[in-house]
């Protein structure tokens, strides 16, 4: 007689007596840095020029150091390159190098003065996805003045308004600087990282060192991972991505895939949501609704309350509330999220998440003790598993994208690291609150 145990591949079998190990989530070693938090009392009397001069003052020494190491003693045609302190000190026919701030003169870039002078237009000007064109001019300026840069070497690098560079060349008969070489401040010095083994007891700790960083390796021996997602775009009218969002939730919770994949997922110690979690697209009304006469809604303080759709926020709240019992979450605001529009965006208020805010930080606790659900600024800086993270919602990359002819966004992110400024185009074309040096990378 054939028993069920003799049939290979049969699903009708008694439960296995083998015990299986249940994967456990890796502990998250997380230390947020309040680098981009603004004061509650803010002043709006600062000037744009002061911000650019401050940026030049802070980054210029790093550029001068890189340029001096590369160009000191350089000779071209028996003439040695000399350093000049100011842009206006450049002399015609003399080989020299100078440091300054780049300004891009771009015909397609929006100009508020032109918009005001042409306020009688019947239609709005045409919006372009890029400001880049063949008629662009590159300028180098400092507190003394401005000079135009020309040369083929400018076509080999990405330059945007606000980045600090050093250029070597000579002034021609037209008063333009013929550029031979360009230097950037390059990557800043890296911060000290904790060791994967226990530090020696003799080694003194710095005053801002997290006590838990030294013991982080004892938990998972460096196997922790970070999951980063963005553009979830929860919508109240479009459910075309509902399946993908549900699969993402099941994957992060370990409810999908094979047992080996579930063990791999258990090493994800934190989820970082990098902006644009709410969709701003509206559903087009049906043709029958378009034919109906428009109903005038009653407005209070100029706002039509009937136009607000709370469903996207509710869906997003339910999504993260389902994940939070299993994994800690850090959420950055984006261009589409309910936060202030200017850089740096401040954290989304926990009141927007009635279900998930139970996992947020206790208001009575210090800011250095984050909650399981941490709403942070954009840009955001923190230490995760001993590594320094700098993240943004993408507005800075989108704005740099408009300045250059390339579509390589990864190269733009690398360039911003080498410029030591995570938002160089602010406040020219990227809206930014006037503050001091918060968008410059020190490490």
**Secondary structure letter of residue 421 according to DSSP:** B
pLDDT of 322 reads 95
Rounded mean pLDDT, 26-33 = 88
Phi, psi of 317 (to 5 degrees): -60, -45
Rounded mean pLDDT, 29-36 = 88
Domain 48-183 CATH class label: mainly beta
pLDDT digits (tens, 9 = 90+) for 51-98: 888 899 999 999 999 999 999 988 888 889 999 999 999 999 899 999
- Contacts with 174 (C-beta within 8 Å, 6 or more apart), sequence order: none
What is the rounded average pLDDT for all residues in the chain?
82
Give the residue with greater pLDDT, 77 vs 5.
77
Tokens matching residue 300: 């209070």
Place 392 in a pLDDT band, splitting at 50, 70 and 90: very high
pLDDT(348) > 90: yes
**Is the CB of residue 54 less than 8 Å from the CB of residue 436?**
yes
**Is the CB of residue 73 less than 8 Å from the CB of residue 83?**
no
Rounded mean pLDDT, 323-349 = 93
pLDDT(408) > 50: yes
Closest CA to 337 of 400, 398, 394: 394
C-alpha neighbours within 13 Å on the C-beta side of residue 299: 7
What are the percentages of helix, strand and coil residues in the chain, rounded to 5?
25, 20, 55
- Length of the chain equals 443
pLDDT of 207 reads 44
pLDDT digits (tens, 9 = 90+) for 152-168: 999 999 999 999 999 99
Query: 311-323 and 242-253 helices cross at what angle (nearest 10)?
Result: 20
C-beta atoms surrounding 414 within 10 Å:
13
Determine the straight-line distance between the first and last CA of the chain, rounded to whole angstroms: 74
**Is the CB of residue 421 less than 8 Å from the CB of residue 55?**
yes
pLDDT(136) > 80: yes
Phi, psi of 13 (to 5 degrees): -145, 160
CA atoms 358, 360, 363, 368: torsion sign: positive
pLDDT of 115 reads 60
pLDDT(128) > 50: yes
Q: Where are the beta strands (DSSP E) in 155-278?
A: 164-171, 177-183, 225-229, 268-274
pLDDT(215) > 70: no
Each domain of the chain, given as residue ranges in start order, spans 30-43+188-196+212-280+309-419, 48-183
Fold of 30-43+188-196+212-280+309-419: Purple Acid Phosphatase; chain A, domain 2 (3.60.21)
pLDDT digits (tens, 9 = 90+) for 217-262: 444 446 889 999 999 999 888 888 899 999 999 999 998 888 888 8
pLDDT of 2 reads 65
The percent of residues above 70 in pLDDT, for the chain, comes to 78
Biggest alpha carbon–alpha carbon distance for the chain: 104
pLDDT of 199 reads 46
Closest CA to 392 of 275, 279, 278: 275
pLDDT digits (tens, 9 = 90+) for 7-29: 666 566 667 777 777 788 888 88
Give the residue with greater pLDDT, 122 vs 240.
240
pLDDT(213) > 90: no
pLDDT(139) > 50: yes
pLDDT of 193 reads 64
- Contacts with 325 (C-beta within 8 Å, 6 or more apart), sequence order: none
């Amino acid at each position: 007689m054939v028993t069920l145990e003799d049939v290979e591949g049969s699903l009708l079998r008694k439960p296995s007596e083998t015990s299986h190990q249940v994967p456990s989530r890796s502990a998250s070693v997380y230390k947020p840095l309040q680098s981009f938090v603004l004061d509650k009392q803010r002043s709006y009397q600062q000037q744009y020029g002061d911000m650019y001069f401050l940026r030049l003052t802070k980054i210029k020494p790093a550029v001068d150091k890189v340029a001096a190491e590369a160009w000191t003693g350089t000779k071209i045609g028996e003439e040695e390159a000399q350093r000049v302190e100011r842009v206006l000190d450049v002399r015609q026919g003399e080989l020299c190098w100078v440091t300054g701030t780049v300004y891009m003169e771009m015909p397609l870039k929006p100009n508020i003065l032109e918009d005001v002078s042409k306020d009688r237009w019947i239609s709005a000007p045409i919006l372009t996805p890029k400001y880049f064109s063949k008629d662009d001019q590159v300028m180098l300026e400092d507190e003394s003045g401005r000079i135009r840069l020309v040369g083929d070497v400018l076509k080999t690098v990405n330059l945007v308004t606000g980045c600090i560079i050093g250029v070597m060349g000579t002034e021609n008969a037209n008063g333009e600087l013929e550029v031979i070489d360009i230097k950037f401040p390059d990557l800043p010095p890296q911060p000290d990282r904790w060791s994967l083994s226990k530090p020696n007891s003799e080694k003194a700790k710095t005053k801002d060192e997290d006590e838990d960083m030294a013991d982080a390796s004892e938990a998972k021996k460096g196997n922790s991972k970070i999951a980063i997602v963005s553009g979830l775009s929860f919508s109240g009218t479009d459910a075309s991505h509902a399946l993908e969002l549900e699969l993402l939730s099941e994957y992060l919770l370990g409810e999908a895939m094979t047992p080996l994949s579930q063990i791999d997922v258990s090493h994800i110690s934190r989820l970082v949501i990098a902006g644009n979690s709410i969709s701003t697209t509206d559903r087009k009304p049906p043709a029958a609704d378009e034919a109906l006469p428009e109903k005038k809604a009653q407005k209070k303080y100029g706002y039509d309350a009937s136009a607000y759709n709370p469903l996207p926020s509710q869906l997003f709240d339910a999504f993260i509330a389902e994940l939070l019992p299993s994994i800690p979450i850090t959420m950055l605001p984006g261009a589409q999220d309910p936060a202030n529009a200017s850089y740096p965006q401040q954290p989304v208020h926990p009141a927007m998440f009635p279900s998930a805010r139970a996992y947020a930080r206790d208001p009575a606790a210090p800011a250095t003790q984050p909650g399981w659900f941490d709403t942070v600024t954009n840009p955001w800086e923190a230490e995760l598993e001993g590594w320094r993270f700098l993240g943004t919602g993408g507005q800075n990359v989108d704005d740099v994208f408009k300045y250059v002819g390339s579509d390589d966004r990864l190269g733009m992110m690398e360039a911003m690291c080498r410029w030591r400024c995570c938002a160089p185009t602010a406040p020219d074309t990227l809206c930014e609150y006037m503050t001091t040096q918060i968008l410059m990378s020190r490490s």
